[in-house]
């Protein structure tokens, strides 16, 4: 956690992906069609306290949200839904803080918070790769 805060002194964004060094920032996979995963994720984010869905770009598979931090800064969050196969979907998240200073690890914590919610709601569909 201290490492994340130190990185956050200079960096004001965090992203997930296939090659993420930390396991908790790796792409998540679900045994759901892109269509079903999309509906679930939009519903989850619309109900999630503290988050506001700004745009839903279904054909691209992006859900754009924003969140205000305790310090009043705004984070822009993009959740990407990718069809890996007709019955499997990948989910990645990019979170960035507005402003020039680092985020002290808040984007990292935001991503973990979103993944925790998604994983709990879609636990029966979660798969490792």
> What pLDDT is attached to residue 70?
81
Burial of 24 (0-12, 13-18, 19+ CB in 10 A): exposed
Domain span holding position 11: 2-127
> What does the DSSP 8-state code read for residue 85?
E
Both tokens assigned to 30: 């679900």
> What pLDDT is attached to residue 5?
54
Domain count, the chain: 1
- Single pTM value for the model: 0.91
Question: How far is it, in rounded angstroms, from Cα 111 to Cα 77?
Answer: 9
> What pLDDT is attached to residue 94?
97
> What pLDDT is attached to residue 1?
53
What's the average pLDDT block by block, 10 residues per block, for the chain (129 residues)? 57 90 94 97 97 96 94 93 97 92 85 96 90
Q: How far is CA 51 from CA 6, 28, 62, 85, 87, in A?
A: 25, 20, 15, 29, 28
CATH number of the structural domain spanning residue 74 = 3.30.310.220
> What pLDDT is attached to residue 73?
87
């Amino acid at each position: 956690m201290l490492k994340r805060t130190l990185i956050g002194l200079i960096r004001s964004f965090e992203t997930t992906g296939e090659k993420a060094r930390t396991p908790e920032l790796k792409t998540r996979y679900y045994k759901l069609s892109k269509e079903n995963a999309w509906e679930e994720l939009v519903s989850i984010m619309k109900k999630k306290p503290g988050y506001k869905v700004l745009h839903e770009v279904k054909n691209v598979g992006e859900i754009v949200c924003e969140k205000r931090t305790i310090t009043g800064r705004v984070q822009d969050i993009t959740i990407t839904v990718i069809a890996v196969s007709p019955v499997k979907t990948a989910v990645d998240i990019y979170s960035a803080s507005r402003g020039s200073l680092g985020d002290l690890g808040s984007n990292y914590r935001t991503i973990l918070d979103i993944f925790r919610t998604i994983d709990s709601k879609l636990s029966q569909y979660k798969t490792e790769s």
